[in-house]
Structure formats: structure tokens, C-alpha cells
Amino acid sequence: MAELGITLVGDGELVPCVDGTERPYLSLDAAASTGALPAVAERVAEFLPNYSSVHRGAGWKSQQATAEYEEARAATLVFAGREGRDDVAIICRNTTEAINHLAYRLGLAASDVVLTTVVEHHANLLPWGRLCRRRYVECGSSGTFDIDAVRAGLDERPVPRLLAVTGASNVTGWVLPIDEIIDEAHARGVPVLVDGAQLAPHRPLPADADFVAWSGHKMYAPFGAGVLVGPRTAFASGDPFLAGGGAVDLVDLDEVVWTDPPEREEAGSPNVMGAVALHAALDALTTIGWDAIRSHDDALGERLRAGLQRIDGVRLLGPAHADVLPVATFVIDGMPHALVAARLSAEYGIGVRHGCFCAHPYLTRLLGLDDAEVEAYRQAVLQGDRTRMPGAVRASAGLSTTLGDVDRFLDAMREITSGAPAPVTYGIDPHTGDFWPHADGGPWSTAMRRLGASCARG
């Protein structure tokens, strides 16, 4: 593998460890969020002096900002393979907002059915459940399903109003046979939404999907912009998801005439900086090329998973033989997932994700939990105790990850699983389920602890 030689903003930043030394920070959490590509940061810095109101000002800077914003919108359509089609790109905050936006705009009735799968991120489960009925494609013990399971879900009555499916799992990295899935849905007249959050930084988005959503913060543009792409006709009538300035042609005290999409769907001042950053990231990925990215991903993923498989007590979750992104999700016999993640951070300066990855139904299946075990941890959480929350550890690579980075992580894992005592003791916070080192003074001391969202939540 020819390494890409890419360094993200913040790569190698020195972080404190419990032994009193500083180590270069190694992020193996690309599946959650990525740092900015230098080209993205540079483009944002170049644009910043010209920032101004969009679509509303006659001034030179407003004209420039509007042009940049609309060029970014056009770039998302090209990136999604929508050239020559009457589709629109709606710029929003992230994938979660994009899916909620679409769920509202489809005008679903409570009796309607959306077909989805048990491998989804909560962002592609919860919006549908608050509006209509959900039907699920179930997975096997490997966390995958075959095309026959999708056909069965599509053929069940009533016919689904929509198939909402991820392009790649945020938990296992499994890349679904998305083109075949789309073909089966379209053969039955069912439109398809693809959650492209994980897919977009690694593979081309499926051009035949009716709708596709993805986020900039997972593809090296962490400035708060995401995208929903779909047919113009889907947004040409009815009330928009957000009501406010910029989405209207006429307003009086008793009536509103909404403008045309996509502006109809973007009330309020938009995130111009986020759009500019996203445009720069799309350009950068296109320049690198999908073949180079795929080669890089495959080499890292193979090294990562093969190395973990050789460590006693480590069990990988997900498919053993399938198309996967550079992701490895695992558990260690006899060691809480939260403690593994805490030790990697505090002792080695390595950042990973742990918990349920905002995919509780999928994790319980991958872990093989029975109904009694699920009910037990649910009751504990409802009583404010997250120490029993199940989960796993996920290491995920990105464009700047090297084989040396993977080896550094594997060396740390071998030490953690060796049975040797940790250099400090750790305590667990029952309110979050997270572990924290017992350190005397310094950045890792209890007094310096920052309480926030827990990986047990999702």
C-alpha cells in the first residue's frame, strides 16, 4: 500500500498521559468525526474575510458569499452523482437533521410503513418511529443480512412508503450491497433513502438512490454542515420542515406563499462556512480518487482486524468475510469496554469510541444478549445506573491513519490484555458508565474531570 501521506489539522498534537508524559494524539475515531483536511482549513481561512449574509444583501461581500454557498450546493449534487437530474441539495446541520427533515416532508400517515433495518444508526430509526410504523430487516449473528431478507420486507403488505437503509454500518463497517438493494426496491416502486454518513468519506454515493444524506464532519469538514439530496418534486409542495425568513415569496398575517426548493427548505441564515468547508472536502476527496482511498482503507482495515484477532481474549464483532470499511469493533473477555477505552486514552494517548455507537438494537444482536439481559440493563439505566450498559470498543481509521498508527494501537492492546496491572487504578461513574483514572494532580486528576455526554448514551 502506498500511504496517502495526508496529515489532518491537529494530527500529532501532544496530549497528557497518566505517567506524566505527553504523547502524540492518535485518533482512531474517524467513524465518529474527523479533523479538517489542510485544504479545508485553508479554504475556510481564505473565505472568512469575505463572510457576509447570503441571498439577502446587495453588498459585494454578500454577493461573493452567496456565490460560494451556491457553488457548494452544486458541488454536493455532483458528488452525489446527480448531474443532469432535477434534484436539489438541502444544506443542513448533519445526517440526523437531514433524515428528520425528510421524514417530516414525506407527509407520512400513522398507518404508513417505512422499511428499515436493525443495523441502522438511531438517526435512521427514531425519525420514522415518531411518525409511522416501522418494519425491520433482521440481521444474523454476524450482523449482516442478504438480499432475500430485503426482498421479503419489501414484499410484505402494506407496501412500504420508503426503504431507509444505511450505506455502511457505523458499528461494524459492513458495506451493504446498496446498488442491489436499491434495484429491488425500485422494481417494486418503493423509493430509497440511503444514510451515507459512513459511506461518503470512503466510497462513491449511490447515484440511483432517491434520497441520500451525509455529514461534513465525518469527511474532513467539521464545520457543521450536512446534506440532504433528493428529487425537487419531493419538496415542491407542502409546508417546509423549518418556517422562517428566506423560505417564502409572500407573507401577510394570515397567509404565506412558500418559495421554490431548495430555498424553501432552508429558512434562516445558513451555515455558509460549513458549506464552503464541505465543498473543499468534496474537491479534496475527488482529487485523491476513490481507487486510492479504497486501497488505503483496505490495507488499514486488514492490518487492524488481523492484528486484533491474534490477541488472546479479543473478540471481533461483525462479518468475518465481507466488504468492510477500515473499522474494527471488539470486546475483551473479562474487561469492560469503557475501561479499555479509558486506558487507551489515559495511558497511551489513543482515542477510540466505546459504548453502543448510537445503535442499541444492533449492538444487542452482535453481543448475543437475550431478552432477560436486555431488560436487566434497561431497568438499571432507568434507575440512573449505567455501569451495566453493554457495549464494545471501536477503532476506525481515516485518510491520515498510517500502518504505523495501527501498529501503535495494537501494541497498546497487547499490553492492556497482557494481565499486567495498570499504572493507576480506575473508577467508574455510575451516571455515565465511563471510567476515569485515579491520578494525583495534573490534567487527569478528578478535580479536572469534565462531565458531559457519555458513550453509554446514544
Residue where the block lists cell 473565505: 47
3-state secondary structure of 192: strand
Give me the long-range contacts of 100-103 (CB less than 8 A, separation at least 24).
100/127, 100/241, 101/228, 101/241, 101/265, 102/127, 102/193, 102/211, 102/213, 102/228, 102/230, 102/234, 103/127, 103/128, 103/130, 103/131
Q: How many CB atoms lie within 10 A of CB 141?
A: 10
Q: In which region does residue 79 sit, left (phi positive, over 0), alpha (psi from -120 to 50) or beta (all else)?
A: alpha
Amino acid type, 65: A
Determine which one of 17, 92, 358, 455 is catalytic: 358
- How far is it, in rounded angstroms, from Cα 216 to Cα 227? 8
- How far is it, in rounded angstroms, from Cα 407 to Cα 405? 5
The three-state DSSP-derived secondary structure of 297-341 is HHHHHHHHHHHHHCCCCEEEECCCCCCECCEEEEEECCECHHHHH
- How far is it, in rounded angstroms, from Cα 90 to Cα 101? 10
- How far is it, in rounded angstroms, from Cα 428 to Cα 434? 6
What residues contact residue 168 under an 8 Å CB cut-off, 6+ apart? 174, 175, 176, 198, 199, 202, 203, 325
Give the residue from 166, 168, 454, 173 showing the smallest Cα distance to 316.
Answer: 173
CB 17 within 8 A of CB 438: no
CB 266 within 8 A of CB 89: no
Give catalytic status of residue 132 as yes or no: no
- How far is it, in rounded angstroms, from Cα 354 to Cα 296? 24
The DSSP-derived string for 6-34 is ---TTTT-EEE-TTS-EEE-EE-BTTT--
Question: Which H or E element spans position 46?
Answer: helix 38-47
By annotation, the residues acting in catalysis are 358
